Amino acid sequence: MADGVGAENLVQELRDVFATGRTKNFKWRVEQLRGLARFASEMEKEICEAVHKDLSKPAFECYTSEIATLERSAKDTEKDLPKWMKPQKTPVPIAAQPGNAQIISEPLGVVLVISAWNYPVWLSLEPVLGAIAAGNCVVLKPSELAPAVSALLAKYIPLYVDSSAVKVVEGGIPETTELLEQKWDKIFYTGNGRVGRIILTAAAKHLTPVVLELGGKSPVIVDSTADIEVAARRISWGKWASNNGQACISPDYILAEESIVPKLISNLKDSLKAFYGDDVSKGEISRIVNKVHYNRLLGLVNEERTLDKVVHGGETNENNLYIAPTIILDPPQDSPIMQEEIFGPLLVILTVKSVDQAIKFVNSRPKPLALYVFSNSKAVQQQVIEETSSGGVTVNDTMLHVATSGLPFGGVGDSGMGAYHGVHSFNVFSHKKAVLYRGFRADNSIRYPPYTNKKQRL
């Protein structure tokens, strides 16, 4: 545990800090936000080196998705925080008049953030930022699968924020299990649904509320009215140029109308060539995070290869954990690639006869974290939005709703519970306390016993 203290002591230490009331102070919150922004800007080089060590993520991708996002978020939060912290007035019913009703945002107390490896800086610090903005003490447990970033956060975050109120605890399952045995005021978990169930079970013991930022198979619906060239480029970007498919809202499979499938495949190939040249393995593209995930993805490719469903890519190199952007056309419904989240550079295309059929397919499966629809028809866009359920939707593009801080980011059903980003981060780490102020005047006796006949006639 941090500073060599056990999890129980760590939580107690933070409870003592929270009890001082220091973290509720607006100035304190702003100082921490500025600390996080400074961490992002001053440590840019070290962050990108660590992210590269863990994921071979290209520096540009690292800057846009791990650093600029955090800096922007810290600055925007500082700007909006006075407004968010202000009590909100709400109307008072006649029975409570004269009176004044307010919703007050109070911090929850001591919260735990457990993060994942694929965007190891942003996914760790964005929730921490929300927790601090709301005035909480926080423990961050980064992913052990991104060890260089985990070590960097443990070493430097205490230098940029109040280290008595914000702790970074490194470790894997044993350390996380110990943390989960403690009573927290909220647990914010990012990762897969199997572990999500472990988190929820541990939280239930203490009646701790949780946010589960999970994943799933995010579909893309492309109809025949779409601009296929642009659609293919944007799908390619969201799939391969965004951590090589290792993103929770990465396009997992495309449902494409029959007439456009050949053009879609050829445009996807063209976009890869434009992005990475003739040999993608020599281009700037993230590698698979580790051997376990490499072997898992290799198994999926090999299975589809034996079924003759691989129409592009499929090359692999175990030495540098490389798997080429790979397109798989119409795999059987019961093949493993259609059962589990791909979370890697394999992209499935399923041919459908109509948008109705695509919607039916999406609705027959667990609710996804993201859904994408490419269509020039406003009616089709609206139909897909209204007739499906997912954490979020981007129309005619991929991924970008996650970068729109006014939009809540989170799942629904199997893809998670709770949401964050921008004001939603502040809200998710706040208790909305209902406060009704009354004075001593006008103490109408109507409501008090005895309930005389006269009162009952009123």
Token pair, residue 21, equals: 């009331």
- For residues 44 and 144, which CB has a smaller minimum distance to ligand NAD in the complex? 144
Q: Which is nearer to ligand NAD, 135 or 422 (CB)?
A: 422
Tell which one of 44, 71, 144, 178 touches ligand NAD (CB under 6 A): 144
| Nearest-angstrom CA–CA distance, 119 and 371 | 20
Q: How many CB atoms lie within 10 A of CB 434?
A: 10
Q: Is residue 341 a contact point for ligand NAD (CB under 6 A)?
A: yes
For residues 65 and 388, which CB has a smaller minimum distance to ligand NAD in the complex?
A: 65
Decide whether 128 or 355 has the Cβ nearer to ligand NAD: 128
Site string for ligand NAD, 210-239 (x = CB under 6 A): ---xxx------------------------
Amino acid 169 reads V
Nearer to ligand NAD, 153 or 226 (CB): 153
Provide the CB-side half-sphere exposure for 265 (13 A, CA): 18
Please report whether residue 77 would count as binding ligand NAD according to CB under 6 A: no
Q: Which residues contact 340 (CB under 8 A, 6 or more apart)?
A: 217
Of the candidate spans 21-29, 126-134, 185-193, 329-337, the one that interacts with ligand NAD by CB under 6 A turns out to be 185-193
Bridge-based pairing state of the strands 322-323 and 416-417 = unpaired
Strands laid side by side in the 392-395 sheet = 310-312, 326-329, 346-352, 251-257, 218-222, 370-374, 392-395
- Residue 436 CB, nearest distance to ligand NAD (Å)? 37
Nearest partner of 253 among 158, 361, 412, judged by Cα: 361
Contact range with ligand NAD by CB under 6 A, out of 63-71, 115-123, 151-159, 329-337: 115-123
Measured from the CB atom, the residue of 194 and 454 that comes closer to ligand NAD is: 194
> Catalytic: which of 61, 213, 257, 304?
213
* H helix or E strand, kind and range, residue 96: none
Of the candidate spans 114-122, 275-283, 330-338, 350-358, the one that interacts with ligand NAD by CB under 6 A turns out to be: 114-122
**How many other C-beta atoms lie within 10 A of the C-beta of residue 308?**
8
Q: Which of 184, 276, 294, 343 binds ligand NAD (CB under 6 A)?
A: 343
133 vs 31, 34, 87, CA distance in Å?
10, 11, 15
Clarify whether 144 is annotated catalytic: no
Asked whether 109 and 53 are in contact (CB, 8 A), the reply is: no
Applying CB under 6 A, among 172, 262, 277, 299 the residue interacting with ligand NAD is 172
Q: Which residues pair with 137 in a beta bridge?
A: 110
Say whether residue 192 binds ligand NAD (CB under 6 A).
Answer: yes
Helix (H, G, I), strand (E, B) or coil at 51: helix
Catalytic residue among 248, 257, 304, 341: 248
Q: Which of 60-68, 189-197, 327-335, 376-384 is the region at the interface with ligand NAD (rule: CB under 6 A)?
A: 189-197
Sequential DSSP letters for 359-400: HHHHHTSPPPSEEEEE-S-HHHHHHHHHH---SEEEESSSSG
Stretch that binds ligand NAD, among 208-216, 305-313, 327-335, 422-430 (CB under 6 A): 208-216
Of 74, 123, 254, 347, the residue at the interface with ligand NAD (CB under 6 A) is: 123
- In angstroms, the CA 396 to CA 180 distance is 41
Among 74, 133, 152, 248, binds ligand NAD (CB under 6 A): 248
* Residue 195 binding ligand NAD, by CB under 6 A: yes
Cβ nearer to ligand NAD, comparing 215 with 331 = 215
CB count in 10 Å sphere of residue 225: 15
Q: State the nearest-atom distance from the C-beta of 443 to ligand NAD, in Å.
A: 52
Tell me if 163 sits within 8 A of 23, measured CB to CB.
Answer: no
**Does the protein bind ligand NAD through residue 190 (CB under 6 A)?**
yes
204 binds ligand NAD (CB under 6 A): no
| Residue 255 lies near ligand NAD (rule: CB under 6 A) | no
What element of type H or E holds 426? helix 423-428
Least distance from ligand NAD to the Cβ atom of residue 214, Å: 6
Cβ distance 137 to 12 under 8 Å? no
Residue 425 sits in the site that holds ligand NAD (CB under 6 A): no
Q: Give the C-alpha distances (Å, rounded to integers) separating 435 from 33, 106, 356, 441.
A: 28, 12, 48, 18
Nearest distance from C-beta of residue 146 to ligand NAD, angstroms? 7
Residue indicated by tokens 């109120």: 165
Whether 213 is catalytic is: yes
Quote the least distance from Cβ 205 to ligand NAD, whole Å: 14
Interface with ligand NAD (CB under 6 A): 114-118, 123, 141, 143-145, 172-173, 176-177, 190-192, 195, 198, 213-215, 248, 341, 343, 369, 411, 416
Residues marked active site are found at: 213, 248
